[in-house]
Amino acid sequence: MTQDIATAAPTPTTAAAPKIGFVSLGCPKALTDSELILTQLRAEGYETSKTFQGADLVIVNTCGFIDDAVKESLDTIGEALADNGKVIVTGCLGAKAGEGGGNLVRQVHPKVLAVTGPHATDEVMDAVHLHVPKPHDPFVDLVPPAGVKLTPKHYAYLKISEGCNHRCSFCIIPSMRGDLVSRPIGDVLGEAQRLFESGVKELLVISQDTSAYGVDVKYRTGFWDGKPVKTKLLDMVQALAELAERHGAWVRLHYVYPYPHVDEILPLMAEGKILPYLDVPFQHAHPDVLKRMKRPANGEKNLERILRWREICPEIVIRSTFIAGFPGETEAEFQYLLDFMREAQIDRAGCFAYSPVEGASANELAGALPDEVRDERRARFMAVAEQVSAAKLQRRVGATMQVLVDSAPALGRKGGVGRSYADAPEIDGTVRLLPPEKASKTLKVGEFTRAHIVAAEGHDLIAMPV
């Protein structure tokens, strides 16, 4: 995901407030880091610039996960240096080592002013202060209570922890972001409340490993609203559900690993307290491949677990990502994965052909497969995934669903685009809303509408607002 966050929101104007250009690259976790930095910049009275040339300094928040992302980040830094000259780099790529163990960003772009890893608002602000001194008289009161957000006003990501205790063999995130550090429960719930109060209608809970929330602090008891609350997935989700109910909003969970304790939150989904939607990054189904991947919960019986979830909450939608062609994957192991897809009926699935990431331990595994085999398996996987998904979407035709409106030109009289509980923003399909038949009906961005599903097309549904 790429966002030019210099355009994120109107800025307060002062006569001589310095201007900061900002580019945010990478995943939602990087996006929340960008939001924290932008919030701090705004709180201190800095303005943002829409162009590199018009800025006093540029911050680039980078992604370092796969080779394409590394290239995009390095290219963006190069453009900012060419157009502006004063550049601070933050984010995952900033923590990555280059040849000989030095810092990769500094090796490629020695002229950058400062480089930090992810989740480093204080360090970034220190570097900003050094090169573009703080304006006097900051307009602190002009910062929205929920902070500066890069998402549309009606949905927001809530990051509950940073880092990860696992060491999946294909992943270098722990080496860039460190071990799991859970945010205090009071801070998490306080931020959720401010977001709901500022008009957010859908809260997307994110982290590297949402199921592990609180493990690092031994599920310490914190305080929220004058009451003790444990730093634990179930307790957090219950509290978020209460807050969401008060504000008529949705809560959606991402990056949930299928540990047994996740079963405890299924009743909340069945009762409609949080969305019956789980984003579970399975990556594979065969136990031996999962072991080679060193995946969390690799000993769990995932198919049985999913079937049990569907018994408790038949409405549940499961999204997942997979890797095809992992080193040593046999045809039989791959077939096992296809069978799993069919039996588990994963509603939304993405699949990458395995690609080695520099620094990942999987690179040392024997049995690397030729590129053609990896690509061919990815295509075969996606054919099955699309069949499953299309059949499930088709079954929704005739139903009436609650839809959150994301866009509605001409006050929605010409229709619009929204999403149901089954669609997370950016990664899933949409509900395309037809122009309402009733003259009195209008669609408004950020509000819910009921809609009658009339057709399914590709990953999307088509619906008549009612």
Instruction: Provide the binding-site residues for ligand SF4, judged by CB under 6 A.
Output: 164, 166-168, 171, 173-174, 208-209, 296
* Smallest separation, CB 173 to ligand SF4 (Å): 4
* Smallest separation, CB 293 to ligand SF4 (Å): 8
Task: Pick between residue 253 and residue 401 the one whose CB is nearest to ligand SF4.
Answer: 253
Task: Pick between residue 56 and residue 209 the one whose CB is nearest to ligand SF4.
Answer: 209
* Smallest separation, CB 64 to ligand SF4 (Å): 13
CA distance 157 to 213: 16
Measuring CA to CA, which residue among 373, 340, 338 is closest to residue 355? 373
Contacts of 192 (CB under 8 A, 6+ apart): 158, 203, 240, 243
Task: Pick between residue 33 and residue 209 the one whose CB is nearest to ligand SF4.
Answer: 209
Measuring CA to CA, which residue among 128, 15, 2, 142 is closest to residue 72? 2
Q: Around Cβ 234, how many Cβ atoms within 10 Å?
A: 17
* Smallest separation, CB 188 to ligand SF4 (Å): 19
**Would the CA dihedral through 47, 53, 56, 62 be positive or negative?**
positive
Do the Cβ atoms of 412 and 434 come closer than 8 Å? no
Task: Pick between residue 81 and residue 357 the one whose CB is nearest to ligand SF4.
Answer: 357
Task: Pick between residue 172 and residue 405 the one whose CB is nearest to ligand SF4.
Answer: 172
Measuring CA to CA, which residue among 47, 53, 56 is closest to residue 79? 53
Task: Pick between residue 208 and residue 449 the one whose CB is nearest to ligand SF4.
Answer: 208
The token duo for 266 is 């299924």
* Smallest separation, CB 283 to ligand SF4 (Å): 8
Task: Pick between residue 171 and residue 266 the one whose CB is nearest to ligand SF4.
Answer: 171
* Smallest separation, CB 282 to ligand SF4 (Å): 11
The token duo for 123 is 């360090």
Contacts of 60 (CB under 8 A, 6+ apart): 22, 23, 25, 73, 76, 77, 80, 87, 88, 89, 90, 91
* Smallest separation, CB 119 to ligand SF4 (Å): 13
Pseudo-torsion of CA 221, 223, 229, 230, nearest 10°? -30
